[in-house]
Amino acid sequence: MKSIIETLEDSENLSVFLDLVRIAGMEPMLRERGPFTVFVPTDEAFSRVPTDRMDEIRQDADKLLLIASYHVVPGQLTSEDLRSIAAVRSSLGTDLVIRSSDRGITVNSVPIVEADAFCTNGICHAIASALVPPTLEIVTP
């Protein structure tokens, strides 16, 4: 089994989030500490953000830290765990709303598209769009 960072490194569709985590300075935490649950936007999710906006985000490590922290939850929560809770507190300190139905699980209305990638220091769930912290104004399609 691999760490969260190693799992992201080995994935073919989660490289943009990995890049943002590295710029934000969160790589050591997600490689060595935990356990964490990470909601990882797919590369396809980021492809819908205009290039100039992504470039702007990449230039601001403080903003990136806020965004990346909003995708990380202390503790390991499987999809089965998520089905039985209504909200979780992100590492940013704000809540993420969890909804479950026969169609799947959503986090702040964003669908989990691939669940339960177990890691040595937590678990990753791929999501269809980036989560935007309530304190930031980021235009996402």
> Which tens digits make up the pLDDT trace of 32-81?
999 999 999 999 999 998 899 889 888 988 889 999 999 999 999 999 99
Band (pLDDT 50/70/90 cuts) for residue 140 is very low
Provide the residue range defining the domain that includes 91.
4-127
Q: Is residue 134 part of a domain?
A: no
How many separate domains does the chain show? 1
Band (pLDDT 50/70/90 cuts) for residue 137 is low
Q: Is residue 83 part of a domain?
A: yes
CA-based nearest residue to 38, from 120, 117, 128, 99: 117
Q: Is residue 93 part of a domain?
A: yes
Q: Is residue 99 part of a domain?
A: yes
Q: Is the pLDDT of residue 132 over 90?
A: no
Q: For all residues of the chain together, what is the average pLDDT? A: 93
Q: Is residue 39 part of a domain?
A: yes
Question: What average pLDDT does range 7-18 have in this prediction?
Answer: 96
Q: Is residue 110 part of a domain?
A: yes
If you search the block for the tokens 């935490």, which residue do you land on? 29
Q: Is residue 141 part of a domain?
A: no
Instruction: Specify the CATH number for the domain of residue 94.
Output: 2.30.180.10
Residue 21 confidence (pLDDT): 95
Q: Is the pLDDT of residue 120 over 80?
A: yes
Q: Is residue 46 part of a domain?
A: yes
Range 138-141, long-range pairs (CB < 8 A, 24+ positions): 138/53, 138/57, 138/67, 139/50, 139/53, 140/48, 140/49, 141/48, 141/49
